[in-house]
Structure formats: C-alpha cells, structure tokens
Amino acid sequence: MASLRLGDTAPDFTQQSSAGEIRFHDWLGSSWGVLFSHPADFTPVCTTELGLTAKLKDEFAKRNVKAIALSVDPLESHVKWIEDINTTQKTVVGFPILADADRKVAELYDLIHPNASTTATVRSLFVIDPNKKVRLIITYPASTGRNFDEILRVIDSLQLTDSHSVATPGNWKDGDDVVIVPSIQDPEVIKQKFPKGYTAVTPYLRLTPQPNK
C-alpha cells in the first residue's frame, strides 16, 4: 500500500489489543485519535513514551482524544511489558496497545520501512480527526523519543483552526495570538469574525487574539 497522506481516510481495521478486540473506527467514535507505533516491547525509549502518554490521560481527555499504541509483538508480550511501564514510569497504562503480530495494521499504515528495519515498526504517529481523516503524520528515528507536548500543541491548533478562520504561527501555543487567513479580505467580515481587533504587520500578516479565549 502507498503511504498515507494528510487528508486521507485512516484505514479501518479489527485487531486484538491489551484492552480486547478493537474495531478501530467504532472505537474512535466521535473522538480524535492518536495512533502511534513503537519498534518493539521492552525497549527503553518506548517505555518512557508509553508512560508519558499514560500520564497525559487528562490532557488527552480534555481535547476529546483517544490514544492507542501499536507494535508487532504478541498480546502476551504487551501484558508483561505494561507491568514494567506501570512500575518504572509510576503510572497506569489505561489506553490500548494493539497486538499486531500479523502486521495487518502495520502494513495498512506503512509502518515497516525496510531502510530502517525489515522486522520492526518505525516510530510513527498519526493524529486522526472525528471524520476519520489523517491530520498529522510524524515519523521519528528509533533513537529519538517523541515530544508529546508538540503533539498536544498540534491538536490544539487543528481544533482551533477547524472552527475559526485562523492559522497558528510558528512556535504558537494555546493562548497566543493567531493569524487571520489570507482568504478573508472584506473589512466587514473581519470585524464580525474578529471583534477583538487585529494588528496588520503587513497586508498578509494580520495577528489577532485567539478567538476562543
């Protein structure tokens, strides 16, 4: 299968997990989703990442996001590894880890990259919206743990820009000023949509306070 691209429908699947059988689209329901793969169970970087994801449970819930992890290890391995994660990271893994020993999901999401490894999944992450569309894809090298603050930041940006006619500038964080999209030029429309006003740095760079704050 060709690589997924932004805007594609996230492939549906049915697969076993540490939380029972998952029918992916049904499991997502009307939530956003973060599906992330890790190269293998009982590996150091992945242990910290899954621990961090567990600790961010409330942050994900606040944004209506469900997290789900994946590797090509069998279910029994996941169950034992979760005990390690809970103990070493001082948390409780409350999200499912897909047991993808047959590589069904890994192949659907193009997670086996022969240049990196012919047997292990790469460290990829997908953000999927409630319409089941892929909105973010990040692939990290195996040696580098993911920055989950960045993932939450992008979800904040996606949810904001989906509901308001704005874009978020570089290094934007929730609460910072945003950019009025260039397609809006009518002064009356701008006044109606952005009652807090705006600063025109240039005709095309117009900053306004975050509309939903």
What is the value of pTM for the model shown? 0.92
Examine the pLDDT at 44 and tell me if it is beyond 80.
Answer: yes
Strand locations in 72-114 (E): 97-99
pLDDT of 11: 97
What's the whole-number mean pLDDT along residues 191-213?
94
pLDDT of 111: 86
Examine the pLDDT at 17 and tell me if it is beyond 80.
Answer: yes
pLDDT of 141: 87
Active site residues: 46
Examine the pLDDT at 2 and tell me if it is beyond 60.
Answer: no
Dist CA 128 CA 20 (whole Å): 21
Burial class of residue 196 (count of CB atoms within 10 Å of its CB; 0-12, 13-18, 19+): exposed
pLDDT in tens, 57-105: 999 999 999 999 998 899 999 999 999 999 999 999 999 999 999 999 9
The domains located in the chain, with CATH, are: 14-146 (3.40.30.10), 164-208 (no CATH)
Would you place residue 3 in the very low, low, confident or very high pLDDT band (cuts 50, 70, 90)? confident
pLDDT in tens, 93-145: 999 999 999 999 999 998 887 766 656 677 899 999 999 999 999 999 888 99
pLDDT of 69: 96
pLDDT of 119: 60
Amino acid at 14: T
pLDDT of 90: 97
20 CB neighbour count, 10 Å cutoff: 9
Tell me the DSSP string of 89-100: TTS---S-EEE-
pLDDT of 122: 77
pLDDT in tens, 143-168: 899 999 999 999 999 999 999 999 99
pLDDT of 118: 57
203 with 184: CB under 8 angstroms? no
pLDDT of 130: 98
Dist CA 60 CA 65 (whole Å): 5
CB contact set of 10 (below 8 Å; sequence gap of 6+): 4, 24, 25, 33, 35, 126, 128, 132, 133, 134
78 with 18: CB under 8 angstroms? yes
